């Protein structure tokens, strides 16, 4: 059981470039999330999705876009990369949204914008 899989693991971008961070889960979870983790800090929610076709903004959505065409996949898009987006990005999924269930995380994508 793979759980939550993120690709790529590492990436270096130039300012202004675009890229898509991939996330897929095989646990049939309806709820998926994207977080960023800056050095020495906790995780901040970027976007989340309650099911295929439904997405919503989290705490720090500016500069990012998401889509959810299937239950399994929840890609995160950076259109115009900026140095402030240098971070580690984590995708997570959970069984329920409002209920008390833990979120399961992937191993992250380490992104540097130069």
Residues 5-64 that bind another protein (CB under 8 A): 6, 31, 33, 40-45, 48, 50, 56, 58-59
> How many residues at the interface with another protein, by CB under 8 A?
29
- 31-37 and 10-13 strand pairing: unpaired
Quote the least distance from Cβ 61 to another protein, whole Å: 11
Two structure tokens written together for 84: 């402030």
Q: Binding residue for another protein (CB under 8 A) from 25, 108, 111, 113?
A: 108
| CA nearest neighbour of 92 among 47, 40, 42, 38 | 47
Phi, psi of 111 (to 5 degrees): -115, 130
Quote the least distance from Cβ 84 to another protein, whole Å: 19
Task: Collapse the DSSP code of 79 into the 3-class scheme (helix H, G, I; strand E, B; otherwise coil) and give the result.
Answer: coil
Residues whose CB falls within 8 Å of the CB of residue 47, separated by 6 or more in sequence, listed in order:
33, 34, 55, 56, 57, 58, 61, 64, 65, 66, 76
Instruction: Say whether residue 107 binds another protein (CB under 8 A).
Output: yes
Q: Which is nearer to another protein, 17 or 45 (CB)?
A: 45
Quote the least distance from Cβ 106 to another protein, whole Å: 5
Two structure tokens written together for 15: 């300012």
Which parts of this chain interact with another protein (CB under 8 A)? 4, 6, 31, 33, 40-45, 48, 50, 56, 58-59, 90, 92, 94, 96-98, 100, 102-108
């Amino acid at each position: 059981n793979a759980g939550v899989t993120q690709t790529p693991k590492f990436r270096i971008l130039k300012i202004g470039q675009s890229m898509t961070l991939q996330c897929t889960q095989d646990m049939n979870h309806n709820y998926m999330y994207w977080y960023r983790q800056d050095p020495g800090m906790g995780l901040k929610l970027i976007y989340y999705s309650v099911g295929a076709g439904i997405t919503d903004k989290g705490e720090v959505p500016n500069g990012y876009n998401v889509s959810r065409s299937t239950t399994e996949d929840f890609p995160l898009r950076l259109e115009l990369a900026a140095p402030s987006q240098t971070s580690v990005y984590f995708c997570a999924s959970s069984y329920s949204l409002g209920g008390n269930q833990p979120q399961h995380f992937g191993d992250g994508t380490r992104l540097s914008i130069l």
